[in-house]
Structures are given as C-alpha cells and as structure tokens.
Amino acid sequence: MQQSLSGKVAVVTGAARGIGQAIAVKLAANGATVVLVDEQFTAGVNILRLRLR
C-alpha cells in the first residue's frame, strides 16, 4: 500500500547514492517535497535530478 505524502517534507541524508538515493526517489514519487543532504552533494544531485524527471 502506498501512502500519499503530498504536503509533507522529508529530509534525506546520504542522498547522493545507494539507499539514501533510493529513499529520496521513492519519497518524491509518492508526492513528498524532498530535501537532499550529502557530502557528495553535487555529483549525487545531478544523478538524482535525472532520475526524478
């Protein structure tokens, strides 16, 4: 069962790759506004931006 997360904000640490990235994608797909945090921010965000389109 998928829950709508519309109107919710999620902060995901480690979002540049791996589990953090997968969680960020899933949250966004379910309607959440996602804040991404990672030491490898630039590289990870560029990859994640492509996946969320």
Residue 20 · residue 12 · CB < 8 Å: yes
pLDDT at 16: 81
| Predicted model pTM | 0.74
pLDDT at 19: 93
From first to last of its 53 residues, the chain has per-residue pLDDT tens of 578 999 999 999 988 889 998 998 899 899 998 888 888 767 666 666 666 66
Residue 48 · residue 36 · CB < 8 Å: yes
